[in-house]
Amino acid sequence: MIVLRGLEKRFPGSQAPALAPLDLEVAEGELLVLVGPSGCGKSTALRLIAGLEEPSAGRVELQGRDLSGISPERRDVAMVFQGYALYPHKTVAQNIAFPLEMRRVPAAERADKVRRTARLVGLEDKLDRLPGGLSGGERQRVAMARAVVREPRVFLFDEPLSNLDAKLRTELRVELSSLLRRLGTTAIYVTHDQAEAMTMGDRVAVLDGGRLQQVASPREVYERPANLFVAGFVGTPAMNLWPVTIERGRAHAPGLDLPAPEGLGERATVGFRPEHLHLGEPSDGEGDVRGEVRAVESFGAETLVHLAPPEAEATPHEASAAGRAALMRARLPGFAAPTGPTRFRIGREHLLWFDAESGARLEGT
């Protein structure tokens, strides 16, 4: 449906490109999430697709047609921003109707479409209100409805939920994904929130520093991150990442004694998710993780244990780093209250290995 070919953006006066040449394909009906930290180039990518920005190189194709030089209005894409950009003196109905008026859709058809779209997003009893009299979530629904009513070939979302409080954001996230699935319209969704990316996307494209790091299903990105950046970015609490030295098939660092796969060399970085650590002695073939409990956070359903490496094993530098920040996290079910020196085991299948220099995940590990 959408193909980006070597799409690149350099702003005058800056050394690094805002977006390094990006190649990406989005299938018809797919919801692709572009995710990454602030400044990674995700909004730039979206604005290039919308036609609000000219690429420095490369192009955007929509259903095989090159969009270069085609104005935003004629691209048949509808964009929803984080600021809702509603007309304050128009009612909800008039706001939703606006794109249809611009296209000179006859009044009767317009009214019918506005009613149907308002019902779709749960605004049918708010049609006569002004935006000032709506909640943040309702305003976001109006913005959505105004995009939906156009029946575009593609939706482009730029952090549409980021102005809302956490609870509402979670609710609208579910609403929005089910609406998009029902409509079946292709969509590209930009967010810095990895939880939105994981829960909403058919696929997730992770960007950092203007460069695509990985594009894959949420599950693949979570379980098989392409490199250290993706590993650290996706998942809360974050994956434990630890530099290790490898000797005779075992990987070591203060508190860690792990079975290492063959062919790793002398140094690597090991990664493992907090939920894969279990209290207790490791059995044969499992990894051994020991540490001093520095803090315990119980959330009810789970407990997060923050561990520092055993003091006796840490170098002075590591011990002082451990004093500043909890270095390792374990996620235990329910309420748990480990204290003092504590031992965990981890299955070797849950260990991921990354190249010490490049940070790339080592295939087959």
Q: Residue count at the site for ligand ATP (CB under 6 A)?
A: 12
Nearer to ligand ATP, 42 or 141 (CB): 42
Least spacing, CB of residue 205 vs ligand ATP, in Å:
12
Least spacing, CB of residue 199 vs ligand ATP, in Å:
19
Window 21-80: residues binding ligand ATP (CB under 6 A) = 36, 38-44
Nearest to 40 by CA among 192, 214, 232, 210: 210
Nearer to ligand ATP, 173 or 361 (CB): 173
Q: How far is CA 43 from the centre of its chain?
A: 13
Nearer to ligand ATP, 18 or 307 (CB): 18
Write down the residue that tokens 């190249």 correspond to.
355
| Span of 11-19, 63-71, 78-86, 147-155 interacting with ligand ATP by CB under 6 A | 11-19
Least spacing, CB of residue 75 vs ligand ATP, in Å:
19
Nearer to ligand ATP, 16 or 337 (CB): 16
| Span of 10-18, 226-234, 310-318, 355-363 interacting with ligand ATP by CB under 6 A | 10-18
Nearer to ligand ATP, 39 or 58 (CB): 39
Phi and psi at 21, nearest 5°, equal -45, 120
Nearer to ligand ATP, 22 or 330 (CB): 22
Least spacing, CB of residue 210 vs ligand ATP, in Å:
6
Asked if 338 touches ligand ATP (CB under 6 A), the answer is no
Nearer to ligand ATP, 42 or 75 (CB): 42
Least spacing, CB of residue 238 vs ligand ATP, in Å:
19
Nearer to ligand ATP, 42 or 306 (CB): 42
Least spacing, CB of residue 43 vs ligand ATP, in Å:
3
109, with CB counted inside 10 A (0-12, 13-18, 19+), is exposed
Q: Is the Cα dihedral 257, 258, 263, 265 positive or negative?
A: negative
Window 192-221: residues binding ligand ATP (CB under 6 A) = 192
Window 154-193: residues binding ligand ATP (CB under 6 A) = 192
Q: How far apart are CA 199 and CA 222, in angstroms?
A: 12
Q: Which of 2, 4, 7, 18 binds ligand ATP (CB under 6 A)?
A: 18
Structure tokens at 363: 């295939």
Write down the residue that tokens 């993706």 correspond to.
230
Distances (CA, A) of 322 to 20, 293, 315: 36, 11, 10
Least spacing, CB of residue 136 vs ligand ATP, in Å:
19
HSE (side-chain half, CA atoms, 13 Å) at 304:
14
Nearer to ligand ATP, 45 or 314 (CB): 45
Nearer to ligand ATP, 193 or 313 (CB): 193
Least spacing, CB of residue 40 vs ligand ATP, in Å:
4
Q: Are 141 and 123 in contact (CB under 8 A)?
A: yes
111, with CB counted inside 10 A (0-12, 13-18, 19+), is middle
Structure tokens at 42: 């995700």
Nearest to 323 by CA among 308, 312, 310, 338: 308
Q: Are 263 and 234 in contact (CB under 8 A)?
A: no
- Please name the helix (run of DSSP H) or strand (run of DSSP E) that holds residue 283, with its range, or none: none
HSE (side-chain half, CA atoms, 13 Å) at 214:
24
Q: Which of 14, 15, 71, 283 binds ligand ATP (CB under 6 A)?
A: 14
Least spacing, CB of residue 196 vs ligand ATP, in Å:
12
Structure tokens at 36: 């990454």
Q: Are 205 and 188 in contact (CB under 8 A)?
A: no
Q: How far is CA 99 from the centre of its chain?
A: 30
Least spacing, CB of residue 358 vs ligand ATP, in Å:
23
Contact residues for ligand ATP, defined by CB under 6 A: 11, 14, 18, 36, 38-44, 192
